[in-house]
Amino acid sequence: MSPNSKSFARYPSARRLWKPVVATGVSGAAVVIWLEELIAFGAEILALIFLTVMAGVIYLLDIFFFNSRMPDREDVTHPNDQGVEK
């Protein structure tokens, strides 16, 4: 049996994070703090991604809304053609 743990092979991110967690402390609180910071960072990144997506959706809806409200070329007539006699 190899001295390496099999759980690290399944989770490569755990292999990268175990040294800072051990350096911070040996207790379970250090692990919880690290995971909490990682989750908070992920939430901020997701918020930035969703902010840009929502801005794009609002921009597209704005374009579609105002394009549907613009009159066609046939609808726009000369002011003298409105029944006003010269």
| 33-81 residue pLDDT tens | 888 999 999 999 999 999 999 999 999 988 888 776 666 677 676 655 5
Q: Into how many domains does the chain fold?
A: 1
**What's the rounded Cα separation, in Å, for the pair 29 and 31?**
5
For the four alpha carbons of 67, 73, 76 and 79, in that order, the dihedral sign comes to positive
State the residue range of the domain holding 65.
11-70
Is residue 42 included in any domain, yes or no? Answer: yes
Chain segment 2-45, per-residue pLDDT in tens: 565 555 566 677 777 777 766 666 667 777 888 899 999 999 99
Is residue 16 included in any domain, yes or no? Answer: yes
Taking the model in full, what pTM does it have? Answer: 0.44
Is residue 20 included in any domain, yes or no? Answer: yes
